[in-house]
Structure 1
Amino acid sequence: MGAQAIKYQTTAARPRLSMDPVLKFWQARGVKFSGMLALGLLVWLIYMLFTSSAFFVYGAEIRGNVAVSAREIYTAGQIDSQSIFWISPAEVERNIEALPNIKSASVTVKLPAQVAIDVAERRPQLLWQSGDTIWWVDEEGTVVPPKAEMEDMLKIVDDDRQALEVGYHIDPALIKGAQTLRILAPDVRVVRHARATGLVVATPEGWPVYLGDGTDMKAKLMVLSALLPQLRENERPPVYIDLRDPLQPVYRTLPEIRIDPPPLRQPVPVRPQIAPQYRRNRP
């Protein structure tokens, strides 16, 4: 028998592919990995929100202003170049309401960078002049600096020249009385005021009329209308007419001036002048 070559062939068993290790790894560390991924995305999103120019304020819609300029209101709000996420509407409202001529403010913000400001101004009801300084006074009696010339507005001239400041409050009854006076007597453009007599107006004859603190203005003017015809017939004009109490009007007339003729002087008899006589001395 001849020799035969024997061939040996080994076959290795192929391993079976399984996803179990991957699933076990994901189950063990997948939640943590997902959290880290979500945190990273959140940090990136916050970074983009706070650094993107799309969320920074460079203007605002301002409504309700007449005397105060929009630029002045916008500057007072302190919102320029600020991130919309850092703006506090309540704080902006306080900043704007600090302006003397602003009575109230309302601020709303919207994404990405929209700011709306609604204001209510202190509307002047009359002018108040103390010395050379003129102020605006609103219906509440609040003193504010003037923003424009108001030629047709009623002016009160303070004879006491008391120094006023922004925010000073004048008695609202005085303001209301002056407004009633202007309505009932449209020709009156200037009213004087003193702490001792209150509001003072002048009749066409120039007689001063004391009207007090401004209350019962309609009743006081009715009494004045009834008194004037009587006073005009009087030969002696009044020095003043006091209507601070309309139920007890008082007026004072000029005292009667009497010019008495000079007293007659008795004639002084004239004595004849006698020439002096000189005696001669005997030798």
Structure 2
Amino acid sequence: MRAEKLMPSISRSDLVRQRRSQRSTQHVTKTRQAASYPARSQPVIMRSDIFNAAQPIQTNSRSRVKRQFYYSLGASGAELRLPALPFFNAGGRFISAMIAVFAALAIYALGFSAQFQISDITIDGISRLTAGDIQAVVNVQGEQIVTFDPQAAQTALKKAFPDLGSVKVQVGLPAKVRIQVDELQPAVAWNGGDTVYWIDANGVILPPRGEPGELLTIGADGQPPLLPLAEVDAAAASSSADGALAVVAAAPAEIWGRQVDPEILKRMIDLQKMIPPDSKLVYNSLNGLGWEDPHGWDVYIGRDLTDFDLKLSMYTAIITNLEQQGIFPQDMISVEFINAPFYR
């Protein structure tokens, strides 16, 4: 009761005035805070009539994100914060520039580095040829692998060596060159007097090289009859007498790689099986195919094996008749024409 008497009595009007005073004070405080922290203004938009697009005049700057790393110091739970590192975002231009730099370095290395210089060549498939023969044509020692032309090397080898059936040139990094060849093998030795020509089973004339092994020997009066070249007119090729292939007088090296008529070779091989074992095959550009009789004269049957049995019987009868008369041919006997055989 005494405490209530000590408190001054406050009228209702005084309470109303106190509340109004508090509201005014709060309003002033909010105004000061708004003045110290102005509101963020929105970017001004410029509208273009041409492109009908809105673009901001100013853009808000973005702070780069920094990555923070924390390193644990053990079971105590303490952590050490390492210096923050900025996040690096590689753009398209940077990546393109790096690719261009690496490409330039690679091109320089391929063109000038000793690692890409050809120092050795691997050669497979040679038997009569030597590695020195091949390397003399494909001289690429010290050449950069990027400047080596496999197609040009293949063409040069085929031109230099007619006895190569196939040539394959392969290139590998850093400086590998592999040459794989297939040599044609001689089957016939065509003895044209002063010169011997090697011929494979398909009629290709090969240069004599190395050890050929056992060959079928044919004695002839000159070079083997050649097939006409592609540029020779067909009419001129067919105008030779009796359809015979013309014998071209040329140096041996000039006909290397040319082809003899395969039919003639086939007939000669077949004739070898029909004649006496001790006889040798012969060929004459005028009288055709034949063999050398053991008595020393040549026997000719023409350019093919038509009626061979009949011609052989006629030859036997002629020899018997001549021996009875004590006549021996000095050079040859021809039974090419059954109705008109002759000897001399």
- State if a TM-score over 0.5 links the two structures: yes
Q: Which has the higher contact order (CA 8 A, sep 6+)?
A: 1
| Count of aligned pairs between the two proteins | 228
Q: State how far apart, in whole Å, the 2-side matches of 1:118 and 1:178 are.
A: 33
- SS of the residue 1:67 aligns to: coil
Structure 2 length as normaliser, TM-score? 0.56
Aligned to 2:64: 19
Aligned to 1:114: 176
Structure number, greater radius of gyration? 2
Aligned to 1:182: 272
Q: How does 1:1-283 map to 2 (within 5 A)?
A: 18-19=63-64, 30-98=91-159, 99-148=161-210, 152-160=214-222, 162-163=249-250, 164=252, 165=254, 166-185=256-275, 187=277, 190-213=280-303, 215-216=304-305, 220=308, 222-223=309-310, 225-227=312-314, 229-234=316-321, 235-236=324-325, 239=329, 240-244=332-336, 248=338, 251-252=341-342
Q: State how far apart, in whole Å, the 1-side matches of 2:212 and 2:172 are.
A: 39
- SS of the residue 1:103 aligns to: strand
Kindly report the root-mean-square deviation, in angstroms, between the aligned alpha carbons of the 2 structures.
3.3
Contact residue 272 and residue 281 of structure 2 kept, 8 A: no
Q: State how far apart, in whole Å, the 1-side matches of 2:297 and 2:192 are.
A: 23
Aligned to 2:80: none
Contact residue 207 and residue 238 of structure 1 kept, 8 A: no
Instruction: Give 5+ residue unaligned stretches, structure 2.
Output: 1-61, 66-87, 224-248
Displacement of 1:225: 5.0
Q: State how far apart, in whole Å, the 1-side matches of 2:108 and 2:162 are.
A: 39
Instruction: Give 5+ residue unaligned stretches, structure 1.
Output: 1-16, 21-25, 255-283
Provide Cα deviations, 1:72-130, integer angstroms capped at 9, x if missing partner: 12332343333222233322211111112212211222222222222122211212233
Q: State how far apart, in whole Å, the 1-side matches of 2:166 and 2:222 are.
A: 32
Aligned to 1:270: none
Q: 1:39 to 1:137 in 2, by over 3 A?
A: same
Displacement of 1:144: 2.4
- SS of the residue 2:133 aligns to: helix
Q: 1:82 to 1:189 in 2, by over 3 A?
A: farther
- SS of the residue 1:135 aligns to: strand
Q: State how far apart, in whole Å, the 2-side matches of 1:186 and 1:60 are.
A: 50
Q: State how far apart, in whole Å, the 2-side matches of 1:186 and 1:146 are.
A: 29
The amino acid across from 2:167 in the alignment is A
Displacement of 1:32: 2.9
Q: State how far apart, in whole Å, the 1-side matches of 2:209 and 2:174 are.
A: 35
Percent pairwise identity: 25
Provide Cα deviations, 1:3-47, integer angstroms capped at 9, x if missing partner: xxxxxxxxxxxxxx9328xxxxx88x9433332232112111221
The amino acid across from 2:196 in the alignment is I
